[in-house]
Amino acid sequence: MKPQSVKHITDRNSLSDLYSSLFTGRDVFLKSDGINIKVNFIKFSNGRIYLDIPVENYDVKRTAIYTRNMEEVAYSHIIPTGMEDKYYVFETEGSQIFFAPRKEQRIQIDAAPGKKTVISQLISNFVIKESLMQNQSRVDWLRHEIASGITEKYDYIKVFFLGDKNIDARMSILMDDRESIFVPDINSAKQGNDNETDPALYMQNIYHLENELAEKNLVSEISVPLMYKMMMPFGYIQANRRYPLTEEDLFKLKRLGLAYSESISRDNSLFSPSGDTITISDLSSGGLGIIFREKSIAKHFREDALVIFTAYLPDSTHASILCRVSNITLSGNWYRVGCRIENIDSEGETNYRKFLQSE
């Protein structure tokens, strides 16, 4: 099957063959509120799917099941109809098979003595958001402190923290890119250098969505991220003018942002990483998997959330790693969280690569 091609199957006889060959007796997972639950595929009979779901009082709703076969994934949307002989019964309108090769080979970690590899000091972006919202007086003081530290004359200044708004266009961009937004002049049609934000994207995703920018005749902007451990954004400093901004303005605001990022990251009243120790099950240059049994640890993870932690490697070295959660799976009594690496501190990256090469 060619990359990105999808095969749709709706014929009942073909579906019966598909479920018999790809689902029965294989690892099948049920999508459920941000977590993938390993289930037993019992049978496909009379157009209905029978599943054994090993979760007490499972809240049945419209969902999907999937399984992997080499470089292909078979995926079926399913609709609950009831229960029969202690099995959950679903109907389906069909199934899709699509090409989804694994991006890279994962190294399985040896559990032998002396080879233990774990993570700790974990904190996620949504936990940081909740903490900032619960410490509003402290956040307001920091907001005033940062704004007071801006000595240059700007026509508009804003200091934003996670939790100030449910949806914020700048925060969404900074969460994904973790780079400053720099628009020297919206009236300049071309992007001048690599430091500058694409003016067309800025106009579409920010400027046209905020009427006050036009109402105040603001033609330029710099927004620099505030980042926990210099990797995970938790806010930003925004400055605008009615005339163009310069590289010097960008340099000064970046320096201010870095200084406050470092000092605020040490504030234990706002940032309290988990002291839980979690085992790494597998890893590669682009990602890693962790496993645990404690349900209390699962609260630290959500699909697509950013998490930052310290990985402790067997050779007594460590690495601070920023990851995005790709998937969360419950198999029996074990949770597995798959993470895609977004960033590693410079010294930690050397340690991590060296460990990979030694395996």
pLDDT tops 50 at residue 3: no
pLDDT at residue number 274: 93
Burial grade of 121 (CB within 10 A; 0-12, 13-18, 19 or more)? middle
Return d(Cα 281, Cα 262) in angstroms, integer: 31
Return d(Cα 38, Cα 40) in angstroms, integer: 7
Please enumerate in sequence order all residues whose Cβ is within 8 A of that of 50, keeping only pairs 6 or more positions apart, or say none.
41, 42, 43, 44, 84, 87, 88, 89
What pTM, to 2 d.p., does this model score? 0.83
pLDDT, one tens digit per residue, over 165-179 is 888 999 999 999 999
Q: How confident is the model at residue 186 (pLDDT cuts 50, 70, 90)?
A: very high
Burial grade of 307 (CB within 10 A; 0-12, 13-18, 19 or more)? buried
How far is residue 225 CA from its own chain's centroid? 17
Selected residue with higher pLDDT from 59 and 221: 221
pLDDT tops 60 at residue 111: no
DSSP secondary structure letter of residue 114: T
pLDDT at residue number 190: 65
Selected residue with higher pLDDT from 133 and 12: 133
Whole-number average pLDDT of the chain: 90
Six token digits for residue 44: 């496909």
pLDDT at residue number 12: 83
232, 126 contact by CB (below 8 A): no
Catalogue the E-assigned strands of 85-175.
87-99, 107-108, 118-124, 156-161
pLDDT at residue number 112: 45
- The pLDDT of 325-338, averaged and rounded, is 92
Give the domains, in start order, of the chain with CATH numbers. 6-99 (2.30.110), 107-127+272-358 (2.40.10.220), 136-265 (3.30.450.40)
Kindly list the distances between the CA atom of residue 55 and the CA atoms of 33, 38, 274, 333, in Å, as whole numbers in the listed order: 13, 10, 27, 10
